[in-house]
Amino acid sequence: MMYQLKKYLFPTLLRFPRLFCDEMGDYVPLSGGGEVVEDPGKDGRRGRTTRVASLDVFRGLSIALMIFVDYAGSILPFVAHAPWDGVRLADFVMPFFLFIAGISISIVYKNKSNKVQSTYRAILKAAKLFVLGILLQGGYFHGINSLTYGVDIEKIRFFGILQRIAIGYIVASLCEIWLSSSTTMNTGRRLFRDYYFQWIIVFLLCGIYLGLLYGMYVPDWQFVIQETALNSSVQTSYAIKTVKCEVRGNLGPACNAAAMIDRNVVGIEHLYKKPTYRNLKVCTTHKDDDSKYPSWCQSPFDPEGILSSVTAAVTCIFGLHFGHILIVSEDHKGRLMKWLLFSLSTFLLGLFMALIGVPLNKSLYTISYMLLTTGVAGFTFCALYTLVDIYGYKLPTFVFEWMGKYSLSIFVFVASNIAVIALQGFYWRSPKNNIFPVYLFDSSIYGAIFQVHWIVSLVTQ
């Protein structure tokens, strides 16, 4: 028996991270390698091929940031997602991942000699990511406080973090494979001319987004909630809530066109049940009395819905063009100058749009939010590229580089709490006596208090 475990099980477990890392990180070689580009030597001319370590570091930094804001957001509100309008630290995580995916795509699909095969590979990767996202965030797992699992097919959530990355990935991949004028990139003079079709797609997607968001009429709508009887945890009744809208171009939580599209296309039962706008003051002031706060505070809403995924895909295409500069430019200075100019332009344009009234909104993925966060992602990558790939300071960032190489595995096991849920399955005589106390992994305010108390008790013993 032990021989069989050593022969089959252990090697599989050791290879497990590699099975996933190609999806977020694109490490599977495609006609010449993964995230590898020609490294300019000290004299500025092209030298040997080398892996872009700063891209791994950026990806690892993003996954670490995701874990940090998930656990620290309850006790440090300024790092958690903004309830609606505004940008906080957590709101940069998704744009960072999309931007990184775009850079990776430009490197992986730099050789487009077999477009059909490349398209098949891209579709397969996106499909695997999408299905994995449904498994992790569709409601199948019931959290660290429960030892049960399973989901009602009629209420499964279809959208989530990995699903959004999958959508951005396939859009940017198809743009890279089919909408470039050359099959190989060997000159910087034709950088924009060879990819003008991709810029047309950018403007087309933005136009579709604006047309639907501001042009669609949103009527009144209703949803059903289950109510719990007093002194009972059993759901005993249903209540129908009505939300008054009859507007066009509204960007509030209740009457925006993005939510209406999701309700009609996907179905309200398949949307996220705990949207961040429930943390708005209007929804929390009278939390104990349902009659005193707006009915929409209890309604489902998916921040990774259909319409917001349109502009999210644009972030991925912007990352794609960062990758083009990485491959085409022949020296570090030329790359940094073009990247900084592009980042500054998108950042200032996003800031300008915010100042003239287009809100920075992650849930709707507004164009101002998309541009501003893309600029920040560009600045961050420039800083990491300078630190890691130019000056070679890899020791301070080696942890992030390792996390970047296995980012999807870390997301599955740590950020999605799969490892914690598995550990919670071990208990002494009663499920309440877990080997690993649940409050050590609880991201709520009460869990944070218990975590601090637990750490202090260990130190003082």
DSSP state letter for 430: S
Give the integer Cα–Cα distance in Å for 238 and 41: 69
Output 407 or 205, whichever has higher pLDDT: 205
List pLDDT tens digits, range 136-146.
888 777 676 66
Give the integer Cα–Cα distance in Å for 116 and 354: 41
Please give the average per-residue pLDDT across 132-154, as a whole number: 79
Closest C-alpha among 120, 113, 272, 115 to residue 184: 113
pLDDT grade for 422, boundaries at 50, 70 and 90? confident
Domain residue spans of the chain: 2-211+308-420, 217-298, 428-460
Residue 113, pLDDT above cutoff 90: no
List pLDDT tens digits, range 26-44.
433 222 334 655 555 544 4
Closest C-alpha among 226, 224, 216 to residue 265: 216
Residue 371, pLDDT above cutoff 90: yes
Least confident of 163-167, 267-271, 293-297: 293-297
Predicted local confidence at residue 225, as pLDDT = 82
Question: In the numeric block, which tokens belong to residue 195?
Answer: 């990819």
Identify the residue whose tokens are 């995701």. 66
Predicted local confidence at residue 35, as pLDDT = 61
Question: In the numeric block, which tokens belong to residue 250?
Answer: 């509204």
Give the integer Cα–Cα distance in Å for 381 and 62: 11
